[in-house]
Chain A
Amino acid sequence: MTLADEASRAGLHKVGGRPPFGSYLRQVWERREFIYALARFRVEAENGRNRLGMAWVILKPLLNAGVYGLIFGLILSTHKGVDDFVPFLVIGALMIEYFSTCLTMGAKSITSNAALVQSLSFPRMALPLALVTQRLLMFIPTVGVMLLVAVAWGNRPTWEWLLIIPVTVTFTIFNTGVTLITARLTVHFRDMTQLLPFISRFIFYSTGVFFSFEERFRDHPTALEIVAFQPLHEFLTLGRTIFLGGPQYEVEPKFFIYSTVWAIVVLALGARFFWAAEERYGRTD
């Protein structure tokens, strides 16, 4: 009798090997408390040694907004034809910041936690999910900053502002999908961590954070139609049109639909893609 026969006769199961997709997702769901605790405690730890502590969660985006406003608003004057340029810029910059930190830090969520991955068994998806949760926890106060800036530039709160909640949800879903993809890619190609800052820079400069696509390509309707399918452009535009009033900032219902479709598709692909290499993450090579 072989050892394998004996093992199955004694009712033993094979160790390792990834569970089917459905039960894998269920295992991830069972670890939700761990994911949330990891995210929350990391935010705390990140700020714990600063004198100002958690105040940095608000101060950092404010300072960021100040720098962008100074450079692009005053020095480079990219504001031609844009109403309420400062809130336009601040909302765009803070939203893209959420995306790019997920992209670049999420990519390292497995590789920089190698010790954890090699010593404890839990569905590895918990790590990228914890990273996105961590960034989400830091994004929520920045929504407050956007709100403040919008009010300071003479916009008055309306019921429409509540739409930021579904936008934050779909944006987070989108970021989760992207993070899952880059987290796995980095495990195969460490070189990704060198490349991603440039990709994130490129996205920052090409997405229309500090200039308006609508103004820049006013005479190129085809270009505008193409840009309408760029998910980040959709999220940024939604954020701006929700908070800002005036003829330039009418909320585009189609962007809600497009961005939601993007988010769901990217998450589904990302989850599937990440799961497919589950056994690979614990290996040291």
Chain B
Amino acid sequence: MDAPTERRPVVVADDVHVEYKVLATGKKPGAADSGRRLMQRTRSTRTVHALKGVSFKAYENDSIGVIGSNGSGKSTLMRAIVGLTPASRGSIYAASRPSMLGVGAALIKDLSGERNVILGGLALGLSMEEIQAKYDEIVDFSGIRDFIEMPMRTYSSGMTARLKFAIATAKDHEILIVDEALAVGDKGFRDRSEARIRDIRDNAGTIFLVSHSMRSIQDTCNRVIWINKGTLMMDGTPDEVLPEYAKST
């Protein structure tokens, strides 16, 4: 490596644009539109420019809070980092494949918790042996051992969220993206999950935390990226960015 003061970048976003083409039904309301034309059906494709040239560098052991109002492009940026939504222009470079914390979509509600631990683990890319080795740890962390044989549809939303979190964090991640995951469960579980996130951050390296909770960003992040309408507004320490963000809203 170079000088010890220079930290190694692990994620680099280079002028990332994301555009969607959506088959729009209905029409844009405009001053001239009224009466007869309201009944006409228009089916035109509309281009949504979700990210308009975002660039930043994330270093090892950074934990970066990502803030912005709803629809500002936070989630799109995260999906672009993971490679789920390819950039239309620009590129994202990463030291290893970043992963998003979340496994909910892979689970089947009609199956027992036990089956879902296996399915979720496999979906995350764990092997059958790894899942068997971690099974007890996952179940104990979720705190629903008594209900693990029951179908997941019978769980309360809190129980479901805990199980999902427990499965999702069973895998070790080098670069991890957490999208509003801290706000689940009761007080006890929230404390445990925040501790787990800090663990992951210490072991992992780099973490992106998308949240609307300024408190949890202040607590866990050393850096904040503020996205607004697809552009990067500010990038700096929480003490610099959060007050500016609070002023704008």
On A, residues with C-beta under 8 Å from B are: 2-4, 6-8, 10-17, 31, 33-34, 37-38, 41-42, 44-45, 48-49, 113, 115-122, 279, 282-285
A41 x B108 contact (CB < 8 A): yes
Given contacts A15-B94, A17-B86, A284-B85, are A116 and B79 in contact (CB under 8 A)?
A: no
**Interface pair B93/A13, CB less than 8 Å apart:** yes
Q: How many A-B residue pairs have CB under 8 A?
A: 131
B122 touches A33 (CB 8 A): yes
Q: Which residues of A contact B109 (CB under 8 A)?
A: 45
User: Given A12-B93, A45-B111 in contact, is the A118-B9 Cβ separation under 8 Å?
Assistant: no
Contact partner of B86 among A4, A37, A283, CB < 8 A?
A283
Instruction: Enumerate chain B interface residues (CB-CB to A < 8 A).
Output: 8-15, 20-23, 55, 57, 79-87, 91-95, 97-100, 102-106, 108-111, 115, 118-119, 122-125, 127-128, 151
In the assembled complex, the Cα of A116 lies from the Cα of B57 at a distance in Å of 28
Nearest CB in chain A to that of B124: its residue: A120
Asked whether A12 lies within 8 Å of B9 as measured between CB atoms, the reply is: yes
Point out the residue from B9, B79, B83, B115 that lies within 8 Å of A6, measured CB to CB: B9
Contact of A119 among B81, B93, B105 (CB under 8 A): B105
Residue of B21, B104, B106, B118 contacting most chain A CB atoms (<10 Å): B106
Evaluate contact between A7 and B105: CB separation under 8 angstroms: no
Contact A115 B105 (CB under 8 A): yes
Main secondary structure of the interface of B (DSSP, over half): mixed
List chain B residues, Cβ under 8 A from A10.
Answer: 8-10, 12, 95
A14 touches B122 (CB 8 A): no
- Chain B residues closer than 8 Å to A117, beta-carbon distance: 84
Q: Which residues of chain A are near B22, meaning CB under 8 Å?
A: 285
Pairs across A and B, CB under 8 Å, 11 listed: A15-B97, A16-B87, A17-B86, A31-B122, A37-B122, A119-B104, A120-B100, A120-B105, A120-B123, A282-B85, A285-B23
B108 & A12 in contact (Cβ 8 Å cutoff): no
Asked if A33 and B79 make an inter-chain contact with CB atoms under 8 angstroms apart, the answer reads: no
Contact B95 A11 (CB under 8 A): yes
Contacts of A279 in B (CB 8 A): 86
Residues on the B chain within 8 Å of A285, using CB? 20-23
A12 touches B123 (CB 8 A): no
Q: How far is the CA of A284 from the CA of B23 in the complex (A)?
A: 11
Closest residue of chain A to B106, judged by CB? A116
Known contacts A6-B12, A285-B21; is-contact A12 B94 (Cβ 8 Å): yes
B84 partner residues in chain A, CB cutoff 8 A: 117-119, 121, 282
B106 touches A120 (CB 8 A): yes
